[in-house]
Amino acid sequence: MVDFAFTPEQRNLYFEVRRFVEEHIVPFEQDPRWTRHGPSEELRSELQALARKAGLLAIHLPPAYGGRGLTHLEQALAFEAAGYSPLGPTALNIMAPDEGNMHLLLAAGDEEQKRSWLLPLARGEIRSCFLMTEPGGAGSDPGLLATVAEPVGSGRYRVRGRKWFITGAEGAALGILMAKVPDHGPTLFLMPMDQPGVRLVRQQETIDGSFTGGHWEVALDGVEVRESWILGALGEGMRYAQLRLAPARLTHCMRWLGGAVRAQEQALAYARKREVFGAPLGSHEGVGFALADNELDLRASRHWIWWVAWLLDRGERARHESSLAKVAVAEALFRVLDRCVQVMGGLGVALETVTARLFLELRAFRIYDGPSEVHRWAIARRLLGRQQPISPFAA
């Protein structure tokens, strides 16, 4: 049975996180240490110290890693509340790419890998990045992976290649690297970022700005990696990356839903207060309809998220469904932000408002974790390959 009847404890979880973010994190939104390339390391540490004190750091993880072992549905509540400020997920240590990387380590790491990397990540002592996309190579089509890990004997490999759009590469201690091993195929390696040959080429100027460390082009000039650093299994990199992708897509949706709720609240407040042509702005039908359309998109997004979270909680992989949800939510939330900007007039595009910053974030979200078109293409392929009639019960 599909049941979204949350217990009082689950409802409290939402309000606990939301109160924490409103009271302790929102005031930092004017802090100059929130730069165009995300919150600085110093700001990140300060925010995480507050979350630690409040008992909210990495709450999604199992108790062995200091969390509360939240279900996917409970994560939907907590992550939406955290996303009320673009700095909230960083404070709670549930921001990408660390959150997705922690999930992958939890699912695929051996005990030693978890002890070395997952524990310090969960405590916020280190950061990580995920190195997959390449200039001219892997991107929408991961089959174009060009970075090679060549075996050099004694369980060692030499990696050559170039990556870009690597979020948080600067300052990260761990890189989860996707490279092709000859005769085996794509493989994930847990690569210390201070390994000789890892070179940060340049920080990329992008329109978004909520990820600590920004985004980097990274050269891998003969980096030595070891067999014991393989995450999962040799040649199984794509399969293990999929383990990360479905839940990671959904947690992005959860966090940005919280941001879109915040923007809608700001647009509503502006539409109530501002008077134009002799009446409150919101009473003009064109503005009221925009706010109503936002409500439709916000609720639809939340229901997409809850449904896929519910599937994941049942142990389903939900690849098709998380793909559907990613497109629907990324596009709906972008529409919400676009309308909020319009309702707020000049103020809507002024970066002094969090709405303008969120608008830029939501535009970027239509690209990462699979551009909308790539998801649509995969959805269409699955539909065309399916023979059974359409029914409410077919996957």
Ligand X SMILES: Cc1cc2nc3c(=O)[nH]c(=O)nc-3n(C[C@H](O)[C@H](O)[C@H](O)COP(=O)(O)OP(=O)(O)OC[C@H]3O[C@@H](n4cnc5c(N)ncnc54)[C@H](O)[C@@H]3O)c2cc1C
Q: Rounded to the nearest whole angstrom, what is the least distance from the CB of residue 1 to ligand X in the complex?
A: 36
- Span of 152-160, 164-172, 193-201, 315-323 interacting with ligand X by CB under 6 A: 164-172
Residue (of 217, 215, 199, 195) closest to 207 by Cα position: 215
For tokens 């709906």, what's the residue? 332
The answer to whether residue 147 forms part of the interface with ligand X (CB under 6 A) is no
The answer to whether residue 374 forms part of the interface with ligand X (CB under 6 A) is yes
CA distance 157 to 152: 5
Indicate which single residue of 203, 206, 283, 342 sits in contact with ligand X (rule: CB under 6 A). Answer: 206
The answer to whether residue 171 forms part of the interface with ligand X (CB under 6 A) is no
- Span of 82-90, 131-139, 236-244, 299-307 interacting with ligand X by CB under 6 A: 131-139
Neighbouring-strand partners of residue 280 = 275
- Span of 11-19, 244-252, 332-340, 367-375 interacting with ligand X by CB under 6 A: 367-375
The answer to whether residue 368 forms part of the interface with ligand X (CB under 6 A) is yes
CA distance 279 to 276: 6
The nearer residue to ligand X, 209 or 258, going by C-beta atoms, is: 209
User: Taking a C-beta distance cutoff of 8 angstroms, is the pair 219, 171 a contact?
Assistant: no
The answer to whether residue 231 forms part of the interface with ligand X (CB under 6 A) is no
User: Taking a C-beta distance cutoff of 8 angstroms, is the pair 326, 307 a contact?
Assistant: no
Residue number closest to ligand X, CB atom? 139
Q: Rounded to the nearest whole angstrom, what is the least distance from the CB of residue 279 to ligand X in the complex?
A: 40
Q: At what angle do helices 319-343 and 372-385 cross, to 10 degrees?
A: 140
- Span of 133-141, 248-256, 270-278, 352-360 interacting with ligand X by CB under 6 A: 133-141
105, amino acid identity: L
Helix, strand, or coil (residue 292): helix
Helix, strand, or coil (residue 230): strand
Cis peptide before 196 (omega within 30 of 0): no
Indicate which single residue of 98, 99, 208, 236 sits in contact with ligand X (rule: CB under 6 A). Answer: 208
User: Taking a C-beta distance cutoff of 8 angstroms, is the pair 366, 331 a contact?
Assistant: yes
The answer to whether residue 268 forms part of the interface with ligand X (CB under 6 A) is no
- # chain residues binding ligand X, by CB under 6 A: 22
- Span of 86-94, 163-171, 232-240, 382-390 interacting with ligand X by CB under 6 A: 163-171
CA distance 193 to 90: 21
Which stretches of the chain bind ligand X, using CB under 6 A?
Answer: 97, 129-133, 139-141, 165-167, 206, 208, 215, 364, 367-368, 371, 373-374, 377
